[in-house]
Amino acid sequence: MDGPLRGGAGAVRPRAEPAALGVRDARRAGEHEPGDGAEAATVEQPAKVDNDLYVRDYSKCIMCYKCVDACGDQWQNTFAIGVAGRGFDARISTEHDVELPDSACVYCGNCIEVCPTGALSFTTEFDMRAAGTWDEESQTETTTICTYCGVGCNVTLHVQENEIVKVTSPHDNPVTHGNLCIKGRFGFQHVQRRGDG
């Protein structure tokens, strides 16, 4: 018998082409067509880069809802992240499917902190991974106190080649429990602007 067995164990189907940016988001419940089995379905789509702070690469999303909880009543209470669609078309999205800058997002980045797959990541990390320069083994981590206000949040600076590449917060810290605000998580860029004007 030539070729793989159709539908049997060990059958190999070619992957479907990734959806263009926005196509999957535009689908509404009941608007999908059943496949013919010739291609393996995929949720792959281009990463969403619509702000300077973080990237949403939903091709990596496993629908764990951790970002929804972190943005909702677990920590932030802004409810900017929710679930859109139903069944096989369910996906993580902003509330009412609006663009991220038009949503209630306050850019705290707590969704990035809880994301287990890298579907949400710092722009610096995303860009460095794309360029092949991200090297977690060579990074050093230094925990310090955020200087933006008097709350006393601990921040952990991840440094690679003398540049801060991302900021996290220790989960066992009694003040932050791993959470930060926009300044604590993303305000590190000013440190690197040495003499830029």
pLDDT for 19 equals 72
Which residue range is the domain that position 165 belongs to? 43-191
Residue 26 pLDDT: 63
Task: Tell me if residue 188 falls in helix, strand or coil.
Answer: helix
Work out the average pLDDT over 169-178.
86
The confidence score (pLDDT) of residue 3 equals 47
- Whether residue 14 is contained in a domain is answered as no
Percent of the chain topping pLDDT 70: 79
Instruction: Decide if 149 is inside a domain.
Output: yes
Check pLDDT > 90 for residue 91: no
Calpha distance 169→166 (Å, rounded): 10
The pLDDT score that the predictor gives to residue 2 is 45
Would the pLDDT of 194 be above 80? no
Q: Does 1 map to a domain?
A: no
Average pLDDT over residues 63-83: 88
Instruction: Give a yes or no: residue 164 inside a domain.
Output: yes
Please indicate, yes or no, if residue 181 is contained in any of the structural domains: yes
Asked whether residue 137 is assigned to any structural domain, the reply reads: yes
Q: Write down the mean pLDDT value for the chain.
A: 82
The CATH number of residue 68's host domain is 3.30.70.20
37 and 13 Cβ atoms separated by less than 8 Å: yes
* Amino acid, res. 129: R
Q: Write the DSSP assignment of 83-132 as a string of letters.
A: EES-GGG-EEEEGGG--GGGSS-----HHHHH-SSSSEEEHHHHHHHHHT
Q: How confident is the model at residue 120 (pLDDT cuts 50, 70, 90)?
A: very high
- Assign 85 a pLDDT band (cuts: 50, 70, 90): confident
Whether residue 27 lies inside any domain: the answer is: no
> What is the reported pLDDT for 164?
92
**Mean pLDDT for the stretch of residues 147-166:** 90
Q: Which pLDDT score is estimated for 178?
A: 86
Q: Is 125 left (phi over 0), alpha (psi -120 to 50) or beta?
A: alpha
pLDDT band at 142 (very low <50, low <70, confident <90, very high): very high
Q: Is residue 105 part of a domain?
A: yes
Average the pLDDT over 12-31 and give the result: 66
How many domains would you assign to the chain? 1
